[in-house]
Structure 1
């Protein structure tokens, strides 16, 4: 309780120096901060984190952000904890407080190995105007195929494009630094949309598009496989057989992650080529249109103190 009071006093002093927030918001931020600290002391971090979040919303303080990161770590939200610790380090560095910066970076480094990642692969599914979202947040093209830090648990990925039906999948990301992979399947035409091509594209055209996308995916998978091999070879400078130092282990882990993505992309490409072949062989003269969908593939294993 003595530590809590000291921390609360420090937050109060920090808030008193600001003028942007309204007085009642500042007071509310202090009250929520203290209540969150009491819940942490009582061993109830799951109840404390929302208090810290609301306190931070009312008044953005590096002190509050630090203890919110600590709370996230306690409940297993490692990606969020890591991001907040790094944000705190950047902010206190700007203020010249090197001791707090070192503490925040130390906590971030300790959390990093426990941060899980999700790779969203978009290859054969690509369509004009394609938009991908994870839990409602846009996933830009720069993130496609890259293992991105996420909190462990269930995540919902959506893909949409003009004239197409929205594609949705749920993926469970395991804790403890696991990496999962989700492949966005080809989007089906939406007959109700005027952008879907009237009565629908002819089956042979769809076969060509699907098969061509499959060829592209196979090429991408092959390139990723070569890149994974090249990355693995780089570890030889830091390894003696199967014994590696930390740098060598990191390089080999990166190579394995790339190889896993390459396997998934290559498999999806082969499936798309096969689907295109079936469509071509079963095509008749112009019909009402057809579409083929590929099922999503999910990879991977589907101390509070003063600051």
Structure 2
């Protein structure tokens, strides 16, 4: 007798799905343009495969096919049977939401019988819906973002018991300049309520900031940026000084044709005076470059040191035979 009742239920289920397919095709032919003909045909094929799996006692394999069928063509009937599949697999929150959606849609179409059936199913599922409360300890953290299984959990949900499917949920919280916080919570079935507290986020590494790659941001990052710029300018200045020195040496060598030892004619004296002048300039420029490189090194090495001010500056003042480095942090 039990076997006969099981066969009878399976038969009624197949009949109901065939009717749903017919209704869905009728609606499609009536002028729905959101999906292509191929998508609608694919939705029907998946719907049939899902129904066969449910009849075979494999709802966990059927639900993904219902989901894809619904994605291809949003049919009220498909949504109803997807809700039924969710209920069979213990996803009560998803089932409840879909039954209510079906009720709202068929009410708009004036089908009171289907609306009543969908609401009856939703009411039967509601007591079995589990809930998860996410309590945010420091809600005032600037830029705080909380996610559940990758989906945003807005401030309006914080502290409120939200309907969720039973099972493992991953909660993540992040904010600029803070370490990302993650935790797993196991929500039990049959209307259980779970609570997860998001603790205050820890500060991120001092070298990590808003400024960009490699920790160039914040106080330490600002110093490193200045260090790189200063050292780079120093290298360029050293190159200029070296070029001036070579030019001075070339002038001095050129004067040899007009000099005998230290005795030179007018042309030789002019060339040597020019060489000396260029050598003096080269010395100053070379010294400034070396000082800039040294200053850049100091800034880099002290980038992580705590400072009362978030900025750093350095001035290079050329002097006779070198340069005076003046810096502040």
Alpha-carbon deviation of 1:149?
0.2
What's the CA shift string for 1:19-43, capped at 9, x where partnerless? 2211100100011111111111111
Aligned 1:36-55 pairs, distance under 5 A: 36-55=50-69
Q: Distance in 2 between matches of 1:45 and 1:142?
A: 34
The question of whether the paired residues in 2 share the 8 Å contact of 1:125 and 1:187 is answered with: no
Are 1:112 and 2:122 an aligned pair? no
Going by fraction, where is strand more abundant, 1 or 2? 2
Residue 168 of structure 2 is matched in structure 1 by 154
Tell me which residue corresponds to 1:59. Answer: 73
State the secondary structure of the residue aligned to 1:154. strand
Task: Count the aligned residue pairs.
Answer: 203
Q: Distance in 2 between matches of 1:33 and 1:69?
A: 13
C-alpha deviation, 1:157, in angstroms:
0.4
Q: Distance in 2 between matches of 1:169 and 1:76?
A: 23
What per-residue deviation string (whole Å, max 9, x for no partner) do you get for residues 6-59 of structure 1?
Answer: 332222222222222111001000111111111111111001100100000000
Alignment partners' CA distance in 1, 2:58 and 2:28: 26
CA distance in 2, matches of 1:104, 1:127: 42
Equivalent residue runs for 1:67-82 within 5 Å? 67-82=81-96
Provide the C-alpha distance between the structure 2 equivalents of 1:54 and 1:78, rounded to a whole number of angstroms. Answer: 19
Aligned to 2:143: 129
Change (3 A) 1:125 1:15: same
User: Hey, what's the Cα distance between the residues in 1 that align with 2:26 and 2:198?
Assistant: 50
- What per-residue deviation string (whole Å, max 9, x for no partner) do you get for residues 90-140 of structure 1? 111111111111111110110000000000001236411101000111111
Separation in 1 of the partners of 2:139 and 2:67?
37
Does residue 142 of the first structure (1) align with residue 159 of the second (2)? no
What TM-score do the two structures reach when normalised by structure 1?
A: 0.63
Counterpart residue number, 2:26: 13
SS in structure 1 of the partner of residue 34 of structure 2: coil
1:193 aligns with 2:208: yes
Matched position secondary structure for 1:194: coil
Structure 1 residue runs without a partner (length 5+)? 200-286, 290-307
- 1:190/1:107 Cα in 2 relative to 1: closer, same or farther (>3 Å)? same
SS of the aligned residue for 1:169 comes to strand
Q: Matches of 1:168 and 1:288 in 2, distance apart?
A: 29
Q: Which runs of no fewer than 5 residues in structure 2 stay unpaired? A: 1-10, 211-216, 221-304, 308-329
Mapped to 2, the partners of 1:20 and 1:79 lie a distance apart of: 28
Distance across 2 between alignment mates of 1:198 and 1:178: 48
CA distance in 1, matches of 2:60, 2:185: 23
- In the TM superposition, what are the counterparts of 1:251-266 in structure 2 within 5 Å? none
* Cα distance change on mapping 1:197 and 1:188 into 2, 3 Å: farther
CA RMSD of aligned residues (A): 2.0
* TM-score, length of structure 2 as denominator length: 0.59
Q: How does 1:94-113 map to 2 (within 5 A)?
A: 94-113=108-127
- Look at both structures and tell me which one has the larger radius of gyration over its CA atoms: 2
CA deviations over 1:142-175 (Å, ceiling 9, x no partner): 1100000000000000000010111000100000
Partner of 1:235: none
Deviation at 1:197, TM superposition (A): 5.7
Asked if the contact 1:125/1:185 (under 8 Å) is kept, the reply is no
Equivalent-residue separation in structure 2 for 1:190 and 1:7 (angstroms): 55
Other-structure match for 1:165:
179
